[in-house]
Copies of this chain bind each other. A is one copy, B any other.
Amino acid sequence: MTLTDEKAAVAEERLTTLGAHLRTALDGRYAAERARNRATFPAEGALRPVEMGIEESRDWTLARLRALDAAGFGSAGVPERAGGHADPLEAVLTFETLAHADLSVTIKSGVQFGLFGGAITNLGTAWHHDAFLPGVTSMELLGGFAMTELGHGSDVASLETTLTYLPDTDELEVHSPTPAATKAYIGNAARDGRMAVVFGQLVVAGERHGVHAALVPLRDEDGRDLPGVTTGDQGHKGGLLGVDNGTLTFDRVRVPRRMLLDRYGGVDESGTYRSEIADPNRRFFTMLGTLVRGRVCVGGGGAMAARRALSIATRHALRRRQFPAPGRPDGVLLLDYVVHQRRLLPLIARAYAYGTAQNALIAALVHVQGDDPSTERDQRELETFAAGMKATQTWFANRAVQEAREACGGAGYLSENELTALRGDVDIFATFEGDNTVLMQLVTKALLTDYRHAWSALDRTGVVQATTKAVGERVMERTAAGLMLDRLAATARRRPEDTTLVDRGWHAYMVEERERHSLESLARRMRAAAKDGGDPFEAFNRLGPHVQFVARAHMERVTLAAFVETVEACRDREARAVLERLCSLYALASIAEDRAWFLEHNRMTAARSKGIGDQIDALCRELRPHALALVEGMGIPRGWLTAALLED
């Protein structure tokens, strides 16, 4: 698509000038690609009629995905053959575009191309690519990603399924030794899948080599389970009815040795285990690490669901009047009520904030998985960032969709207004691709590791006076956005109380302090717990709520840094002024939620804290006239919203 086409598309949407600029700013470095996706996505018929039963929903979803794949919105980014071009950016942006519409289709595409295709691409080698990727991308071969087991959801290392090498026949035996080893919640398992990437403990000559994955055929051409394979249908769910989640068990199923996805570890022709990564733990995390794209996608998909819901609720609030008031005989527009503004506008600010951070996350993914050289540290940081963004954005999506539903009253409960389907579909985003609470633990674990490294590095360089503060700062200042935030914070650090409540330096200082101090105190408590001598599980278990707090504080800091960078990059004066306010609203809402913490830790006076609520109200009031543009900026084309309550 040429630039002229893009302009025509925007014109067709009839965006306000401000809305167009806000959209460009929020789309950020991927504005051109996103505009192209919006202009070419076949939006008609994009939402499944809600009355459909399970089988009909599955039929519809599969057919829709085939049509989208044919239109270039399915396997985009997945290479079609060995040596083919894998484009992580195209993959992520395509997923995001799909998430503007039916989420069953989105998730089914994620299962087929992201998980099934992604595992073959990333864990397999040339033979696997040549043999299977053409079928994956054309959807002739539908497959599942069989990692989770009934007994082991978040705890992948404890998977019970075994992949045992049989030297006599040069085969792998795939086996589910217990009911708890049953693969569960596997998309494409209940009906459509013909094959699955099955994760299990690789056993060679009696020795265990940890979790590996193999390609295992599930069904014959007519859809009957192959010998030894038992598939199960998990039936009706709270949403995503179009995805056929099911169970898989294997009773000593044999596949040829080469079906093992052996990029990071495999069995050679002599029947010996070989891996370039000697440390089994490092190998395990390297293998899992290649799957990070799924988390980037799911977080971004959740964000789109939130934006859709907020678009519907805000557009409704700009039409709907209720209760006459002095000077307003026809009733007051919902969005003119301060209480209603407080429900929606801070959520919109947060949607923008996460959008900017998601852009930074995508850039990190492209850096690591693209053609540039990248380090193991880059990879590890990407995983942490992706884990945090997935948890943060999907929790946010649930909250935003529910608030939007309530803000639309009874109309919000009618399925014709899209919100209840969104709510049901997005619910599970908080659980799949990693339970959010567990992901937040991962974030903090990574921060603690960095913290220990920074500490010992300082120690080695002889800085014996190294304060924990210096260590904390070293941990935080890696990215350009982080450095920018840190410079801002420096302007407020000396006399924070002399700043205004919308001073960006003060916001930066506050969110940095929250992360730094809570991380330092957690590290101290961890050390004390390690020395405690009591039950080590209990000692660390008690730090659980603190661990969650640190992860949240970190993600809020990273998000603010990204938002500030986006504001700085905006060249349109009017849009920038609006973004400044949105950024302040986000920062203040974040600080307000933890203002007890700031008061307890003497980072803010009571008088200042008391003023935050009024300042938030003032920002809402200032943003209120731009509400439509804010919605347009979130990027969901009006024509894609089918909610009946927006019709005349």
Contacts and interface: CB of A to CB of B under 8 A. Distances in A.
Contacts of A424: 238, 420, 424
Nearest to A325: B537
B237 A415 contact: yes
A541 B621 CA distance: 11
A185 B51 CA distance: 18
Interface string A406-438: 100110111110011101100110111001110
Interface stretch (A152-160, A470-478, A495-503, A562-570): A152-160
A414 B412 CA distance: 24
B154 A322 contact: yes
Contact of A420 (B154, B239, B323, B596): B239
A338 B542 contact: yes
Contact of A536 (B54, B155, B326, B545): B326
A626 interface: no
A427 B415 CA distance: 13
A155 B323 contact: yes
A6 interface: no
A411 to B, nearest CB: 8
A393 to B, nearest CB: 15
A336 B535 CA distance: 13
Contact of A405 (B238, B416, B537): B238
Contacts of A239: 413, 420
A617 interface: yes
A: contact size bracket = 35 or more
A424 B432 CA distance: 20
Interface string A316-328: 0000001111111
A398 interface: yes
Contacts of A184: 410
A402 B398 contact: yes
28 contacts: A51-B236, A148-B410, A153-B409, A154-B322, A154-B409, A155-B324, A155-B331, A185-B413, A235-B415, A236-B415, A237-B414, A238-B424, A325-B537, A326-B535, A328-B537, A339-B437, A342-B544, A398-B402, A410-B432, A420-B424, A423-B427, A545-B617, A592-B596, A595-B600, A596-B599, A599-B606, A600-B606, A600-B609
7 A-B pairs with the lowest CB-CB distances in the bound complex, closest first:
A238-B420, A339-B544, A236-B415, A596-B596, A325-B537, A599-B599, A338-B544
